[in-house]
Structure 1
């Protein structure tokens, strides 16, 4: 409906305005259609993620808080399970956990599903314990959806819109144990930075 309205307004503007001018109402509607995106620069390539601000406002705000503080710089994807997900944002390359203080209310009941390419918050058994760590689904993980096995599920707050080939490379790397941690890539996949593309 919004796209049809935008098309109508553009045609109306073209008929009423001189060549080369743009209808201001149509431009405003197009702006509203744009979702906020971030770029995650990693040691093996870049990944663009679109954030679901409307569906998961608290989760997106929490994630952006960590982005703006530079929390994700030099963290790694420390848990990689092909056919399931890749998890990162909480440990450095030497497997030291990075402090994360802010947690967020679980918004998994937002209607979004843990499908291939979506991004969700990692957490403990406490449904409201998600802080900085997130994971990218590399499969359709329906058992993670609300209400899940614990009555809560895992909150999806973003999706990969560019760079799925990088995600595909990540999920296929060799993994092993690092102390008490399992499924750790043998060669670190480093998150160099996460930055906002548009606001």
Structure 2
């Protein structure tokens, strides 16, 4: 092989490596991560702005505003999900911004994750357009929560990437009544000490 051909191949290899590196960096930048420090331990969620951009930005703004700091997991149902982000230790509901537009169907169309164990989704009322700050983490494969042609379902916008043992601990905590809720409230409060953008 001639020197010219070897030099060309070497340049092509360098260019390919650079392109791969740029793509990897772009993917890393496009997938922010948030660390939750709780009284039950820590966990980290990775978010997918390419799948549900408005939902992710809404969530991140609450993180930046320190909204989740001092809130509790107020609804825990084993083999279903754990929900938090809306109430403080005295069960006072924290003020929120206007609801975020529902992106569940669009997220799935873009290849986003479904409501399976370990995924992060927005909580809401019966109104699909009512999600604000509360979120839940699936602890089971809850296919009935997935959006469909006839049902809005629930928008999945991230997943737990470390600390799933903490989520397992939360889901296993004894529950009962608490504050305005007749059931499913941890008897020992599980407090979110902080939610911090780490990536």
TM-score (norm 1): 0.86
Residue 93 of structure 1: how far off its partner (Å): 1.0
Residue 9 of structure 1: how far off its partner (Å): 9.7
Equivalent in 42, 46, 59 of residue 63 of structure 1:
59
CA deviation digits over 1:123-151, x for unaligned, max 9?
00110000000000000000000028x72
User: 1:32 — aligned with what?
Assistant: 26
Cα 1:167–1:173 shift into 2, 3 Å: same
Cα 1:26–1:71 shift into 2, 3 Å: same
Residue 10 of structure 1: how far off its partner (Å): 10
Q: Does 1:142 align with 2:171?
A: no
For these two proteins, the number of residue pairs brought into alignment is 182
Unaligned runs of 5+ in 1: 1-7, 17-22
User: 2:176 — aligned with what?
Assistant: 176
Q: Secondary structure at the match of 1:120?
A: strand
Using the alignment, how far apart are the partners of 1:28 and 1:195 within structure 2? 26
Aligned CA-pair RMSD: 2.1
User: 2:131 — aligned with what?
Assistant: 130
Cα 1:134–1:12 shift into 2, 3 Å: same
Unaligned runs of 5+ in 2: 1-8
Q: Which has the larger radius of gyration?
A: 2
Matches within 5 A, 1:41-190: 41-109=37-105, 110-111=107-108, 112-147=113-148, 151-181=151-181, 182-190=183-191
Q: Secondary structure at the match of 1:30?
A: helix
